[in-house]
Chain A
């Protein structure tokens, strides 16, 4: 018995050690983003004795970020780096300037309309896949799922050609419509809606509810947390989209990432400014993540785990 408890103690110690080391390793890069943003560039770059504690240059870095006229993100001129999805890292940039350019309104309009439209489409399609039988259900579902394989970057050219054929270039709808029937969203909704009991739908049906009422009076209310999680995913996806808006939109309609790209010059890499921007872009998302974590995770998971 003593042997037993000793082994148990060793086991618990090992488990703790593993988890704690993992958590520390996970935190190091995050910590380093914050620390680097408070140091001068020379202090965190090419130093054989790196400073591990925060310094006092955060404000100076922030001011140089705001004053900057030429920031190139990463890499050498001529490389394709400017097409990397820059996303919310730009949050810290010249906010008022973006407002002048109408970029903020553009981004908000596109993301909000896209999210709402996509929620409706995905939940309806998910409801159909989860709760109805019809011919070719599986092939259709797998065809939709298969498009998840394709990186967005590769769809830009054919999508642009299509949009120019139907006269939708330089229109917000050109950005809203293509991923409105978001395959990931349809998948998540279908998986989650499978958990709605058939008996519930059936008793509503016996009470005289129409099929559409089943969808918006029963399915939607029970799917609240999944819909919230999906809304976050869809909004961030659209908010961060860079390459496709860049191709489709013209000046005056730019979204935030595209508008900022116009401000980017080709001098050299200013890591201090990048780290400030990174810190500022990471903090709100971390806070959001900490607050919404439970709901977000359970909303996603209800689906991915079934089957």
Chain B
């Protein structure tokens, strides 16, 4: 390069100058309009978001300091569902109780149970699912595998299954005399009380959720794998790395941001678990061993009508999920995601 300078004394060419101007402009691009334009694009979304989502969420926080159980006569909401009728009364019934909604949780054994169940499902389900998703992704990224597209589609199909449909079919398959136990006994194995033992009923939920979401996460990981530069593998091969070393030292580190994304979204998703236990385990059977946090909050708000307490529980849920996500981000080493 330096030698060419002496042979071209005429200075930078026109093309170079244009490129230079372009470059200096593109450096300035992020500050174009000094931020006002950005706000203008945000205003419509932000107005609706602020009024209809942020405000209710903050309002829930406000409600969490009140006793709000709807005891006045003035009804503002009446639902008749055929099972029970639900009545919401005026807000005037609010009674400030300070932190007592929060302190009440320490003595609430059902809440502890729900917290335990959700944590149990989370701890078993998320690593299991991410592991399977990763293995499937790596397998289906290998060039020697034929019909990769077919396999990917089949594995991702459960995401499109309707929630009630798939939960019901798990309920059917896991019966004492259901399909799964039929297969187990015909293989000479003992049958398992999938829905009647508290441990196995949780495992049934784990199985159902894993079944539904593994393919989805596999697809995300697959896309991540395709962004891993091929040269890294070639370099590793030159250094004599085997299959395991390449996976351990190239694939996993390169996939880290995607893996992190998968972990965080799966954690949040599992904390939101609601419909599966309700359908498969009839809302927490046996003995409340599958009742989840969201389901418990829901029950508190809509069945017991303790709206203040439900609001406080909601904020505990938010706190737990936020802390967990933050920890995962920290451990994943992406502080500036």
- A interface residue numbers (CB < 8 A to B): 11-12, 15-16, 18-19, 22-23, 25-30, 32-33, 36, 44-50, 73-89, 120-122, 124-125, 127-129, 132-135, 137, 140, 143-144, 146-151, 153-155, 157-162, 164, 177-181, 183, 186, 198-199, 201-203, 205-206, 211, 215, 246-247, 261-262, 264-266, 271, 274-275, 277-279, 281-282, 285-286, 288-290, 293, 297, 301, 304-305, 307
Q: How far is the CA of A206 from the CA of B32 in the complex (A)?
A: 12
Contact yes or no, B274 A158, CB < 8 A: no
* Contact for A149 among B177, B283, B307, B318, CB less than 8 A: B318
Question: Closest B-chain residue to A246, C-beta based?
Answer: B79
Q: With contacts defined as CB atoms under 8 Å apart, how many contacts are there between chain A and chain B in the complex?
A: 325
In contact, B162 and A281 (Cβ under 8 angstroms): yes
* A89 / chain B contacts, CB cutoff of 8 Å: 162, 164-165
Pick the most buried of B56, B77, B220, B268: most chain A CB atoms within 10 A of its CB. B56
Report if A181-B35 is in contact (Cβ < 8 Å); known contacts: A32-B172, A154-B297, A286-B157. Answer: no
Docked CA distance A281–B275 (Å): 17
Q: How far is the CB of B219 from chain A (nearest CB, A)?
A: 6
**Bound state CA distance, A181 and B22, in angstroms?**
35
Stretch at the interface among B36-44, B107-115, B122-130: B36-44
Which of B2-10, B137-145, B229-237 is found at the contact surface with chain A? B137-145
Q: A78-B83, A132-B37 are in contact. List 9 more A-B contacts (CB 8 A).
A: A50-B179, A73-B164, A81-B279, A146-B322, A159-B52, A278-B168, A282-B165, A289-B159, A305-B227
Bound-state CA distance A94–B322 (Å) is 44
Chain B interfacial residues counted at CB < 8 A: 112
Bound complex: CA of A127 vs CA of B79, how far in Å?
41
Smallest CB separation, B312 vs chain A (Å): 12
- Subset of 18 A-B contacts with CB under 8 Å: A15-B144, A27-B157, A73-B279, A74-B168, A81-B278, A83-B302, A84-B275, A86-B164, A125-B41, A132-B30, A149-B317, A149-B322, A158-B57, A162-B51, A162-B59, A181-B49, A202-B25, A247-B77
Residues of A near B14 (CB, < 8 A) are none
Q: Is the interface of B mostly helix, strand, loop or mixed?
A: helix
Interface centre among B36, B41, B166, B243 (most CB of A within 10 A): B41
**A33–B169 touching, CB < 8 Å:** yes
Are A198 and B29 in contact, CB atoms less than 8 angstroms apart? yes
Query: Nearest 4 CB-CB pairs, A to B?
Result: A132-B38, A134-B35, A278-B165, A128-B41
A85 to B273, CA, bound (A): 12
- Contact A29-B211, Cβ < 8 Å, known A79-B282, A158-B60, A211-B33: yes
